[in-house]
Amino acid sequence: MSTVTLNIDDRKVTIPAGTTVLEACRMNNIPIPTLCHDPELTNSGSCRLCVVEVEGMRSLSPSCVTVATQGMQVKTNTRRVKEARKTVLELLVANHPLDCMTCQKMGDCSLAQYAYEYGVKDDVYPGERRNVCLDDSNPFIVRDSNKCILCGKCVRVCEEVQGRSVLDFYQRGFESLVGPAFGSDLSQSDCVLCGSCVSVCPVGALTEKQMIGKGRPWEIKKVQTTCPFCGTGCSFDLNVKAGEVIGVTSNPEAPVNGRALCVKGRFGTDFIHSPNRLTAPLVKKDGEFVEVEWDEALDLVASKLRAIKSEYGADSIAALSSAHCTNEENYLMQKFMRAVIGTNNIDHCART
């Protein structure tokens, strides 16, 4: 593998050829703030927060789109660099609602974090702020374009990871927005509500509706699990607060799916605490379902299965089991069908 050696903040670093200055810094634990960069997406170089000084270059260079070259001299932390980054943040904050106290993203907002680090005040550039309507048109995602910093990560993840290309920039200048074609709602677009855009948004412009008001990041425990909806084997982190699952966060480290999830995996966990779930067996008596003890329910099922088997044969009985059960429960179900009932008529919703 060919390598290049460069100098970053008076440190000699050797990295694979073709590496960007940003990647070179991250490989060597040199912090660089970023808003539009994501290691899984193409670089757009649009936010300009990652700028560094490169010897011989008149203007500051965005490190995420600057390839490191042999002998390059880079400074990441000079006064000029810090002032440029602060100005970028001041301009973003100047057109931001600053409703942080009630924003769902509080505690996990990159803009707030960097504004704090760089000592940004909110009154440097007074003037007009965007005032557009929320897109609350679908059951899962709320779009608040007033908070959008136009980083384009949602546009790129929709095109490059999900392959849908539902989102893009539209209008120009101060009026610039991100959304589906012709400024329509997500519900009127080809959006499949995978939620990938929510997972990359660095601010509160895209939020999961079911999580709103349910918990702050520091109150949430993340528990890695495998999705119970199909046989693909995607994994993600359950967000658990006070013993209750309040949502899902995709995990870029998930071996099968990375950050990608479908609408069921990302938004379908509300069944866990649904009051509609059965908690006791029901048996129909005089046309009405009534709660009974387990023994009574199991005796009834056993007698019905016995009667069907003796009259029509074992192959007249079939069972469907569920990915919502554990592997062990599903194993027992097929064992029961094969060894007790005597048929191979057993199937599972996650087989495909």
Which option in ligand SF4, ligand FES, none does residue 25 bind, with CB closer than 5 to 8 A by kind?
none
DSSP, residue by residue, 219-245: GPEEEEEE-SSSTT--EEEEEEETTEE
Bridge partners (DSSP) listed for residue 244: 241
List the interface residues with ligand FES, window 164-203 (CB under 6 A).
none
Instruction: Compute the residue count for the chain.
Output: 352
Q: Should residue 152 be labelled a site residue for ligand FES when binding is judged by CB under 6 A?
A: no
35 versus 211: smaller Cβ distance to ligand FES: 35
Among 6, 15, 36, 211, binds ligand FES (CB under 6 A): 36
Check residue 201 for interaction with ligand SF4 (CB under 6 A). Answer: yes
Q: Which is nearer to ligand FES, 50 or 103 (CB)?
A: 50
Nearest one of 111, 80, 109 to 94, comparing CA atoms: 111
**Which of ligand FES, ligand SF4, none does residue 260 bind to, with CB < 5 to 8 Å depending on kind?**
none
Q: Determine the interface stretch with ligand FES among 43-51, 75-83, 186-194, 233-241 (rule: CB under 6 A).
A: 43-51
34 contributes a contact to ligand FES by CB under 6 A: yes
Query: What DSSP letter does each residue of 131-153 carry, written as one string?
Result: ----B--SSSEEE-GGG-----H
Closer to ligand FES by Cβ: residue 25 or 64: 64
Q: Are strands 319-321 and 346-348 parallel, antiparallel or unpaired?
A: parallel
Give one DSSP letter per residue of 167-220, joined into a string: -EEES-GGG-EEESGGG--GGGTT-----HHHHH-SSTTEEEGGGTTT--GGGP
Neighbour tally for 133: CB within 10 Å: 10
* Residue 247: how many other CB atoms lie within 10 Å: 21
Among positions 6, 8, 24, 37, the unique one binding ligand FES when judged by CB under 6 A: 37
Kindly tell me which residue out of 50, 54, 234, 248 binds ligand FES, with binding defined by CB under 6 A: 50
Which stretch in 88-96, 129-137, 150-158, 237-245 sits in contact with ligand SF4 by CB under 6 A?
Answer: 150-158
Is 64 a binding residue for ligand FES by CB under 6 A? The answer is yes
46: contact with ligand FES by CB under 6 A = yes
* Token pair belonging to 17: 């050829």
**Stretch of 11-19, 151-159, 273-281, 294-302 contacting ligand SF4, by CB under 6 A:** 151-159
**At its nearest, how many Å lie between ligand SF4 and the CB of residue 110?**
9
Tell me which residue of 244, 243, 308, 234 sits closest to 274, measured CA to CA. 244
CB 53 within 8 A of CB 74: yes
Residue 26: CB minimum distance to ligand SF4, A: 20
Q: Which does 50 bind (CB under 5 to 8 A by kind): ligand FES, ligand SF4, none?
A: ligand FES
Residue 191 lies near ligand SF4 (rule: CB under 6 A): no
**In DSSP terms, which residues pair with 5 in a beta bridge?**
14
Site for ligand SF4, residues 302 to 321, rule: CB under 6 A = none
Closest-CA residue to 103 (of 30, 183, 201): 201
Q: How far apart are the first and last CA of the chain?
A: 41
Point out which residues bind ligand FES (CB under 6 A): 34-37, 45-50, 62, 64
